[in-house]
Amino acid sequence: MLPKQHTWFTEPYQSEGVAISWTIESHLGHEMTDYQTIDVYKTTHWGNLMVIDGYVMLTTRDNFLYHEMLTHPALFSHPNPKNVLIIGGGDCGTLKEVLAHESVAQCTQVEIDEKVTRLAEKFFPELCERNDDPRATLLFDDGLAHIKSLPPESVDVIIIDSTDPIGPAEGLFGPEFVKDCYAALGPGGIMVQQSESPLLHLALIEGIKKNMDDAGFSDTATLGFPQPCYPSGWWSATMAVKGGTLAPPNEARFNKAKLTTRYYNPAIHSGALATQLGPVTR
């Protein structure tokens, strides 16, 4: 039995008849911004928990799974990523993983809501330890408009680290945005987008891949990975390449990079590429 001072935070997923809960020790932060409502809680077992508009964004305990799988497969799929752009990613965990690659000369993060980053700096400082890296640029702006403003073929990798396709993030899942990403990428450029649960959101994933195909990308792949704090516990990232195919990872290149990862490695990358998505049975 839990001590009386503990309460529960619960995120229900009504359409699938499931919910996930954490025991809460305290409410650490609350912000109502022009875009959304952000809360941070201290949990009993999962470290700190960030919630936006009632939806869980990350926990201290398991965020490394998401950030590593959104970042490293894309960067190791590009032959020489120098200029990287992150759209969203206000908690800065993806930025941290990008800048672990010494080959990256510049990484720009465009987050619409500055309060997400300021709360992350306070309550998830381990994710923000590279925010002052001279290769990092943090912009608090509209990602849709930023992509449109880029010179053609000026970026090597674009990472879409967005919330669910509602509210401020809805446009990041649209076909016009994907076309703008294609135009901004150089030859061999890689786009990767968080693409929700391969168990619950197959129609969304199919739509993302269609948008990528229609924009002109030559090859796409959806990589599945565990993510305990999100609905179904299974999440995905969908990659696309501008010319050529998405080849399996190069183990020698990974070893040379000398990254410190907790989940990602070339075998995980290859296994994720083999993910087979099919109809959900109930």
The set of catalytic residues is 161
Long-range own/partner contacts, residues 168-175 (CB < 8 A, 24 or more apart) = 168/35, 168/36, 168/112, 168/113, 169/88, 171/144, 172/87, 172/88, 172/143, 172/144, 173/204, 173/207, 173/208, 173/211, 174/211, 175/211, 175/214, 175/215
Burial of 130 per CB tally in 10 Å (0-12, 13-18, 19+)? middle
Q: Read off the DSSP letter of residue 151.
A: P
Four-residue CA torsion sign, 232, 233, 234, 239: positive
Cβ–Cβ under 8 Å, residues 161 and 134: no
17: helix, strand or coil: coil
Token output for 4? 């009386």
Cross-sheet strand order for the sheet of 18-32: 7-13, 18-32, 37-43, 48-52, 55-59
Q: Which two tokens stand for residue 11?
A: 């995120």
